[in-house]
Amino acid sequence: MQATLAEEWPAFEAIHQQPSFTSIRLNPGKQKAYDLPKIAWTDFGYFLPERPSFTLDPTFHAGTYYVQEASSMFLEQAVKQTVDLTRPLRVLDLCAAPGGKSTHLLSLLNPESLLVSNEVIRSRASILSENIQKWGHANVVVTNNDPKDFQRLNGFFDVMIVDAPCSGEGLFRKDPKAMEEWSEDNVALCAQRQQRILADVWPALKRDGILIYCTCTYNEKENEENVGWLVSEGKGESLKLNLPVRQAGVESDWEIEEIVKNRIFGYRFFPHKVKGEGFFISVLRKKEEAEEVSMRTKTQLPMVSKKIAERVNEWLLHPHHLILLDDLIVALPEQFSTEINWLANNLNVVTKGTAVATLKHEKLIPEHAAALSLELNRNQFPKIELSLDHALAYLRKETPLIGEGQKGFALVTYQTHPLGWVNLLGNRINNLYPANWRVRMGG
């Protein structure tokens, strides 16, 4: 890094003694704007003056924003500048947990698009699923698969994001553990693994499809050399992105370094230049032919009865394709029922669409994902607005003293944002917040 940065090295070294910036990205379906300093390369990102306790903020659990590092929000520029977002697209976020890029993509994509959000590690796939549910979209499938499994989906995707596991050099300021794990051998190992991941998943991208490759590291082995390998093999072409033109004597909000080397364009973020951590991103267009796979399958997802469908669709703002998985009723966007059925037959699916209700002896018990969904028709349910203390008690799965004397399922809200459900039983209350999501912090 000293050799690379030359006279900039002292500033780079000094910034690692400073605390990281805290930034968030708003969910445009739930929160419109904050009066805070904006992140220049995204419509949704803001810097916070200090790091609050997000765990003790009910609006965080309601999915109104996501805590995300500012540099990685540059994904928005990579997508907007290379993809026609007015078209229906099939998009894969390959290494998606904990969900920053997937939730960002859901805010950018046309509602007629379908996102497959994948995580290799099962425990992390559960966290990913939770964050996707909080964001409130139905046009997403969460999967738990190895990259090579996507070879069954030849030519299926228009866009892929590969945020590859890396040596983490850009995280040294934020995560001292990343520094302890670093070695030259680990860099070489990461580079080999990244190349395998790219080779495994590449067949699933359509001809002229877009691959966005990014890491949280600086070295060329894991960045330019991996992108260069795909270009040199004749598989893809590297795309140039537009950055603001620098004016003499004027400091830009962006200060992103463009790398141009052997027909490769890459964009590197240094923490002494931008208000964010270390990051690298590059965009490729596929030039190889890719015959698209046929979506024929013998098995169909079981549908609910017409009578139940009428009742459930009253809970939603738009009609959905409703399927029954054991006792669970799941709403899928009607235009994707074929694709989602086919994906469920070819991948290990964790969640698909939005779980709306559990069916018990003709009785509908609302599911937590439905409370957080942007498709929920809130007018169909009584609402109970909670104070901060009651909201935190609810999130801890305690029993707040609310709705006494009332009966039936009610939507509990905080600052009008739905948090989940309660079942009012006249003289007592059942808190239906998911036990594995409950807040364990006091305050």
Which one from 95, 166, 190, 216 is the annotated catalytic residue?
216
CA–CA separation, 375 vs 367, rounded Å?
A: 13
Looking at this protein, which amino acid is placed at residue 336? F
Q: Is the dihedral of CA 409, 413, 418, 419 positive or negative?
A: negative
Q: Please name the residues in contact with 192: beta carbons below 8 A apart, sequence gap of 6 or more.
A: none
Instruction: Mark whether 216 is an active-site residue.
Output: yes
DSSP assigned state of 94: S
For 112, the token pair is 């007629």
Q: What is the 3-state secondary structure (H, E, C) of the chain?
A: CHHHHHHHHHHHHHHCCCCCCEEEEECCCCCCCCCCCECCCCCCEEEECCCCCHHHCHHHHCCCEEECCCHHHHHHHHHHHHCCCCCCCEEEECCCCCCHHHHHHHHHCCCCCEEEEECCCHHHHHHHHHHHHHHCCCCEEEECCCHHHHHHHCCCEEEEEEECCCCCHHHCCCCHHHHHHCCHHHHHHHHHHHHHHHHHHHHHEEEEEEEEEEECCCCCCCCHHHHHHHHHCCCEEEECCCCCCCCCCCCCCCCCEEEEECCEEEEEECCCCCCCCCEEEEEEEECCCCCCCCCCCCCCCCECCHHHHHHHHCCECCCCEEEEECCEEEEECHHHHHHHHHHHHHCCEEEECEEEEEEECCEEEECHHHHHCCCECHHHCCEEECCHHHHHHHHCCCCCCCCCCCEEEEEEEECCEEEEEEEEECCCEEECCCHHHCCCCCC
Q: What is the set of active-site residues?
A: 216
